[in-house]
Structure 1
Amino acid sequence: MDTTPEPPQPQSQPSARPPEAEPGPERPESPERSESSEGAERQPDRPEHPPRPDYDPPPAHAPRAPWGDGLRFAFGTLTVLPVRGTRWDREAAHTGMLCAPLAGLTVGLCAAAVGGVLLFLGGGPLLAAVATAAIPAVLTRGLHLDGLADTADGLGSGKPAEDALRVMKRSDIGPFGVITLLFVLLGQVAALAELYGQDWAHGAVGAAVAGVAARCALTLAARVGVPAARPEGLGAAVAGSVPWRSAGVVAAVTVVGCAVVAVPFGPYAVVRNAFAALAALAAAELLLHHCRRRLGGVTGDVFGALAETAATTALVVLTFG
């Protein structure tokens, strides 16, 4: 009845919009379903919300807080130094993890100073090495060593991710953790004793390089794309907070800085220091890859294990040659 005999009708009923209903010939077999089925009623709604998901995805990384807040975050979370933090959000975590190598440099210099005092008093290279290895544990409340032991227990258990994370969360230390702590600390003391045996400057540079490389490994572990294994804790607070480019810049500056401090010792020492920093970051990356595969991401314990792995690797490489 509404076909063509009444030309004035399209002007009086524009709301019905019959011309738009005519693309229906694509489905000539069931014209009734085009008017009554729910699929046809949803057709006009689809163009309105096609790109919107059911939830708002999180940003690729957190915005960066001011450098002052980041420094306080880095020193407040990675050391026991009396630094009053004002922000503990994701923005501060972003900047704080970029500043992590500065916290490591401070810890390394404090350790080197104590070792130098003992050498000056006639304590000998071995005693200076023990003190230099102990100072970072004191200035971090032993959190990195505890994280290393817990991670060793979790990975050594051979259990699935959820069970391994429960093992890591226990307050006691298992056999894997004890053995790992023993050999790591022995390796650090032996390497530092070798460096202090040459002179205090070599030992001091070794302590500083180990501290910086250890915290730079944490910066790389906090980059975008590395998930947290748990929804709470330090790992969840900083995981994925640092963009790839920023993490790469920090790593490059760390390697160059470690090489520059060896300039007074000659060109071979420069190459050795740069290689020590690169080897430390590579060893931490290997452990990070294994933890991601076994645990599904990072935790605060994994961060501690990465720091101790990088520090030990740097010290061992510095004794070569």
Structure 2
Amino acid sequence: MPETPAAAPTPAPDPAPLDGLRFAFGTLTVLPVRVRRWDREAARAGMVCAPVAGLAVGLCAAALGSLLLLLGAGPLLAAVASVAVPAVLTRGLHLDGLADTADGLGSGKPAEDALRIMKQSDIGPFGVLTLLLVLLAQVAVLAQLYGASWTRGAVAAVVSALAARLALTLAARAGVAAARPEGLGAAVAGVVPTRNAGAVVAGCALLAAGCGAALGAWGAVHAAVAVLFALGAAELLLRRCVRRFGGVTGDVFGALAETAATTVLIVLALGGAG
């Protein structure tokens, strides 16, 4: 009697739009969002939606900074608050990833040893120095912009958070490998088709321009240009990490986010933010 052929596995259904948002908010923020799917399809939708999570984080940062100014606080305190909000809403994971990536790149060791250094719980001298300089730069720029006007500081807080998560979408594009077989990097590496990534970049550039329009025509152009510069800086770091480690990790994603956010702020500061 011939054997009955085994049934082909049923492919996972395409994720609903909310699955992508749940994945983005559930993995990139501490907001109480339950991730119901943890497969490649959901990861693809989630990384496409990553800038939406960034927009939410940026709005929270801008709201707190602006509120403090309204209550009579100085621009320095408003800046510190706006930098603290993204750190709190991500449990400091992006900052931790930045420090670990700096330690890995600065170690000068082979890829396997560098990845082991990055996975350790402590932070080395390269990580401490990088973390300190990045946070000082972010606070300094936001203090400058809040000192000019609450609108400029708020726009910068929103656009920087948007660009930070947009950098993650690009880092998850097809062709970018994971350095480890486990972890967030492995879960999202290569999941976003290049065409989709390009569309998200275009949409976020327009969104940044819309935010910058609150400062006038130059503000709109300046914000969009700042996002493009941020993506360029993140891309340089991504290529360095891929060459150095053989792919991306969760720590690399964190480093890319902080690099993009800081670059946006610096570009906005250099042009007067409109």
Q: Does 1:187 align with 2:137?
A: yes
**Which of the residues 61, 81, 91 maps onto 1:141?**
91
Contact 1:228 1:239 in 2 (8 A): yes
State the alpha-carbon separation in 1 of the partners of residues 234 and 257 from structure 2: 7
* TM superposition score normalised by structure 1: 0.80
Which residue of structure 2 lines up, in the alignment, with residue 76 of structure 1? 26
Instruction: Select the residue among 223, 241, 244 that pairs with 1:273.
Output: 223
- Choose 1 or 2 for highest CA Rg: 1
Q: 2:6 maps to which residue?
A: none
Structure 2 counterpart of 1:38: none
Identify which of 104, 108, 119 aligns with 1:154. Answer: 104
Q: How far apart are residue 64 of structure 1 and its match?
A: 5.0
In 2, the alpha carbon distance for the partners of 1:200 and 1:268 equals 17
Whole-Å Cα distance in 2 between the matches of residues 260 and 291 of structure 1?
A: 32
Conserved? CA contact 2:134–2:262, under 8 Å: yes
Q: Kindly report which structure 2 residues correspond to 1:167-316, keeping only aligned pairs within 5 A, or say none.
A: 167-316=117-266
Q: Counterparts of 2:158 and 2:213 in 1: how far apart (Å)? A: 15
Matched, 1:65 2:3: no
Note the residue ranges of structure 1 that are not aligned, 5 or more in a row. 1-61
Kindly indicate whether the alpha-carbon contact (under 8 Å) linking 1:65 and 1:94 is maintained by their aligned counterparts in 2. Answer: no
Offset at residue 132 of structure 1 (A) = 0.4
- Contact 2:206 2:224 survives alignment (8 Å): yes
Q: Distance in 1 between matches of 2:71 and 2:82?
A: 15
CA contact (8 A) 1:97 1:242 kept: yes
More helix by share: 2
Q: Distance in 2 between matches of 1:64 and 1:156?
A: 41
- What is the CA–CA distance in structure 2 between the aligned matches of 1:63 and 1:87, rounded to whole Å? 11
Q: Which runs of 5+ in 2 are unaligned?
A: 1-11
Counterpart code for 2:66 = G
Question: Which among 123, 131, 134 is matched to residue 81 of structure 2?
Answer: 131
Structure 2: distance between partners of 1:142 and 1:294: 24
- In structure 2, what is the Cα distance between the partners aligned to 1:67 and 1:195? 36
1:87 aligns with 2:87: no
Deviations along 1:17-61, one digit per CA (max 9) or x if unpaired, are xxxxxxxxxxxxxxxxxxxxxxxxxxxxxxxxxxxxxxxxxxxxx
After TM superposition, where is structure 1 displaced by more than 4 Å over at least 4 residues in a row? none
Offset of 1:67 from its aligned partner? 1.1
* C-alpha displacement of 1:165: 0.3
Letter in 1 for 2:178: A
CA distance in 1, matches of 2:55, 2:248: 24
8 Å Cα contact 1:64/1:95 also seen in 2? no
SS at match of 1:319: helix
Q: Which residue of 2 aligns with 1:109?
A: 59
Cα distance in 2 for residues equivalent to 1:256 and 1:93 = 24
Counterpart check, 1:319 vs 2:269: yes
Partner SS, residue 176 of structure 1:
helix
How many Å separate the matches in 1 of 2:223 and 2:195?
Answer: 23
Greater Cα shift, 255-264 or 116-125: 255-264
Question: Which residues of 2 match residues 8-23 of structure 1 at below 5 A?
Answer: none
Answer yes or no: is the 8 Å Cα contact 1:63–1:94 preserved in 2: no
TM-score (norm 2): 0.93
> Which whole-Å CA distance do the structure 1 matches of 2:200 and 2:235 have between them?
15
CA distance in 1, matches of 2:249, 2:226: 26
Asked whether the equivalents of residues 66 and 78 of structure 2 are also in contact (C-alpha less than 8 Å), the reply is: yes
Task: Tell me how far 1:264 sits from its aligned partner.
Answer: 3.1
User: What one-letter code is carried by the residue in structure 1 that aligns with 2:208?
Assistant: C
